[in-house]
Structure 1
Amino acid sequence: CAVAPPILGEHQESIPYVGPIYGGLRSGMSVYIQGVIPHEITSFNMNLQCGESEGSDIGFHFSPRFDNWDKVVFNSCQEGEWGSEEEIHNMPFSKGDAFEMVIFIKQEGYQVTVNGQDLHTFNYRIPVERVNALQIGGDVSIQTISIIGGGNPGDDQIGGNLPVMCGQPIYNPPVPHSSIIPGGMFLKKTIVIRGMVPLGANSFSINFMVGSSRDIVFHLNPRLQESVVVRNSLIGGSWETEEREISFNPFLEGQYFDVSKQGTGLCQNYYPIPYIVNYF
């Protein structure tokens, strides 16, 4: 089914995007997407398709449209013919804001949540087993795409250079927060922690620990009043030498941030472990 050429926003280097979903979709899986809505937006779309080529059948078409009647449109396209639209006028996206979206593959259809809130369930019109590709276009910037529940970590990757994660997203956990990392850390596994530094904050810490010994293999400690980001490890009850050097402090009061943390085989290489910090 033909899609109109997207009107690209300011930060659209990776858009339009199309990539395979290895092994296809099935009930019990989910698609996790994290991105940012630009201030100047007309619309964007996400399609779960039966192939990567233009003109492929679209099992699930998701299109937020910012106009005088802001709405989200759901549809499907089969053999070049669009079906009947389903519309939601409760717009869950805000201009200039980041978002997290999950499409749960249920028995009856695609259940969509945005920022942890249920939005709509779109019943299947095309068998979900035929869906094997994701296409994204329009005014949107995408940071993360993850296919959850597709088997081992290698099976979950959908292609491209975007980070890939496994596991169920956790929304708005209370702080302090502690949880198990299913399967532990391994090469190229990515943990993304997203939050906001409140006004007047002094410091906070993120620790990656060995459950049996309670060793901290990676300690990330932004100290707002000192304008430093301390990195360290605690092995056998003793702190190692702090690392404080950083080109700039990405943690600012009143700003959102992303910490993307990648494993490098924690059993062999305790420290340092690569991390990337972005903020909005």
Structure 2
Amino acid sequence: MADNMLCSDFKDFGGNILAVPFSGTIKHGLKPGMKITIMGIIRKNADNVRVSLTCGSSSTADVALLLEACFQAGTLSRSAMLAGSWSPSELAIPYFPLTPEQPFRLDISCEHQRFKVVVDRQFICDFSHKVLSLSRVNTLKISGNLNITKIS
């Protein structure tokens, strides 16, 4: 994703860590061809990490993608919420890609029919769009046991 697509004051961190939980606006919403890159380090004794793409910052906003890594279970679930109802979680992955105390790079690519999730340059999973008007998806939220070093 181009740097100017995220509207916040986090273009260049200069090695600083971003506060978690994090919420940032995606200028003009998502569209096919955009990519969000999150770099950071998983904390020691991590329980979970959550990344969501939502239609606004409200706690009741539709969620186009909730990506949740659960370290104890070794799962990376994907789901969406429309009008207050969650879709069934998708769990299939070739391996669990995150390790406590290790840096990571997470890329979420928005394609015409799906989100594609890549960790450390390895394809992990995809998730078909449930929110069909991608321009409504205008907020990135990150929470859990991690330190964020870069978002672009």
Q: State TM-score, norm by structure 1.
A: 0.46
| 1:80 and 2:84 matched | yes
Counting matched residue pairs gives 134
Give the superposition deviation at 1:132.
0.4
Structure 1, residues 181-220: CA drift from partner, whole Å, max 9, x if none? xxxxxxxxxxxxxxxxxxxxxxxxxxxxxxxxxxxxxxxx
Structure 2 counterparts to residues 256-267 of structure 1, below 5 A: none
Q: Per-residue deviation at 1:129?
A: 2.1
Query: 1:13 offset after TM fit, Å?
Result: 6.3
SS at match of 2:88: coil
Distance 1:113 1:13 in 2: 21
Please give the alpha-carbon distance, in whole angstroms, between the structure 2 residues aligned to 1:114 and 1:44. Answer: 13
Partner of 2:138: 132
Q: Which residue, 139, 142, 148 being the options, matches 1:142?
A: 148
- SS of alignment partner, residue 29 of structure 2: coil
Aligned residues of 2:79 and 2:86 also touching (Cα < 8 A): yes
- Matched to 1:76, the amino acid is A
- 2:18–2:148 contact (8 Å) kept in structure 1: no
Rounded Cα–Cα distance in structure 2 between residues aligned with 1:75 and 1:58: 8
- Listed one character per residue, the Cα deviations across residues 163-191 of structure 1 (whole Å, up to 9, x for unaligned) are xxxxxxxxxxxxxxxxxxxxxxxxxxxxx
Give the Cα separation in 2 of the matches to 1:108 and 1:82.
19
After superposition, the C-alpha distances for 1:77-123 in whole angstroms (9 at most, x for unaligned) are: 11111111000352100111000111111111100100000000100
Determine the structure 2 residue equivalent to 1:121: 126
SS at match of 1:129: helix
Contact residue 28 and residue 135 of structure 2 kept, 8 A: no
Q: Distance in 2 between matches of 1:24 and 1:36?
A: 27
- List, as ranges, runs of 4+ consecutive aligned residues in structure 1 with deviation greater than 4 Å: none
Identity within the alignment, %:
26
Structure 2 residue 38 is matched with structure 1 residue 30: no
- Does residue 44 of the first structure (1) align with residue 74 of the second (2)? no
Name the Cα RMSD after superposition. Answer: 1.3
Query: Which TM-score applies when normalising by structure 2?
Result: 0.84
Change (3 A) 1:115 1:13: closer
Structure 1 unaligned segments of length 5 or more: list them: 1-11, 147-280
Report the AA paired with residue 46 of structure 2: I
Q: What is the 5 A alignment of 1:108-257?
A: 108-127=113-132, 128-146=134-152
Distance of 1:61 and 1:124 partners within structure 2: 12
Q: Which amino acid aligns with 1:139?
A: N
Q: Which runs of 5+ in 2 are unaligned?
A: 1-16
Q: Following the alignment from structure 2 to structure 1, what is the Cα–Cα distance between the partners of residues 52 and 86?
A: 13
- Name which one, 1 or 2, has greater alpha-carbon Rg: 1
Using the TM superposition, give the Cα deviation of residue 54 of structure 1 relative to its aligned residue in structure 2, in angstroms. 1.6
Structure with more of its chain in strand, by fraction: 2
Higher relative contact order (CA 8 A, sep 6+): 2
